[in-house]
Amino acid sequence: MDNETWQSIVKYTELQGTSGQEDRVAEAFRADLTPLVDQVYRNGLGGVFGVKEGHSAGPRVMFAAHLDEVGFMVSEILPTGNFKVVTLGGWNPMTVSSQRYTLFTRKGQYPVVSGAVSPHLLRQGGAANQVKIADMIFDAGFVDRAEAQAFGVQPGDFIVPETKTVMTANKKRVMSKSWDDRFGVVTVLEALTALQGVQTPNTLIMGANTQEEVGLRGAPAAVNQLKPDIFFAIDTSAADDNAVLEGHQGHLNEGALLRVYDPTVVTPHRLKDFIQTTAEDNHIPYQFFLSKGGTDAAAAQSQLAGVPSVAVGMASRYLHTHETVWAIDDFEAAKELVVALAKNLDQSVYQTIMGA
């Protein structure tokens, strides 16, 4: 990985933007995207896409990341000056407490922590019950409700994880927040950079949606605006390889992911064949993945007259927490796969995928 790519990863993973509050990420992404494409579009939900003109007789191919990361929203200010929250995206309650966040208000941005019960306050010999996020307290240090309100805190304010991106000691893996899905954001930019000066056999539509984490809301707007013939979600999936590999899917350092099934998408078999063949012809390592969750591919596939859709990406540990761990080799494989798909998806391939 070169230094420019590393700096892009640090930039986008450390930027803070949860669902409905993606503006900072979108602004940075648009600035980086513009010189790489022929036209830039933004839709009413804030999604940002660039169009790279290729062969005019080829299909319109969309690769879509998403800008948002998981976070929280203030739901109530307590008399103590602390807050109750609602979730923006899926969280495991065990990972939420005793973490650092940033509180975004109309008047400013403030540090805030998620509260936890000190062991000193637990009944001796008893076990603490798992707390629900709805019962958790977020603490920005305000002395009472009036002071919090004086600093501009209101229901509807956003709370976003804060952490630094670092490389592991062996220089093979990375620890960061928001790799779901700043991975896709960086991959779009890296792929377009690799495709500079290349005329693809298709029209490429590459960008990122908003509000994926709260119900795949941004993808329909993008698809209806730009009307792709085929859709690739670029997203990361949950690795399950901490202790054992056998019987578990999503392994670090085993290549790009081809998501063949989740509860919302059954990957069209001819599209699956094309991705496999492309990876194998280009000596790109890949692995199959069956997921219990969905991606923007689910929302895209039912738009227009039906858009063949699939998710490709990589596996990452500890998704939807402050500290995701992922492998640089897998990132490189996923990026290479996106570039190869863009170079090879011509009208003949598209007709085969469609069964024409």
In angstroms, how far is the first alpha carbon of the chain from the final one?
Answer: 41
Measured between alpha carbons, how far is residue 151 from residues 17, 111, 146 in Å?
21, 12, 9
Which candidate in 22, 69, 212, 332 is catalytic?
212
- Give the Cα separation of 69 and 63 in Å (integer): 18
Is 76 designated active site? no
- Give the Cα separation of 250 and 253 in Å (integer): 10
Omega within 30 of 0 (cis) for the link into 181: yes
- Give the Cα separation of 259 and 30 in Å (integer): 28
Burial class (CB in 10 A: 0-12, 13-18, 19+), 183: buried
Orientation of helix 3-14 relative to helix 179-194, angle to 10°: 140
Burial 184-216 (b: 16+ CB within 10 A, else e): bbbbbbbbbbbbeeeebbbbbbbbbbbbbbbeb
What residue spans of the chain are helical by DSSP H? 3-14, 23-33, 145-150, 179-194, 218-226, 269-281, 296-300, 328-344, 347-353
- Give the Cα separation of 129 and 224 in Å (integer): 46
- Give the Cα separation of 76 and 253 in Å (integer): 43
As annotated, the active-site residues are 212
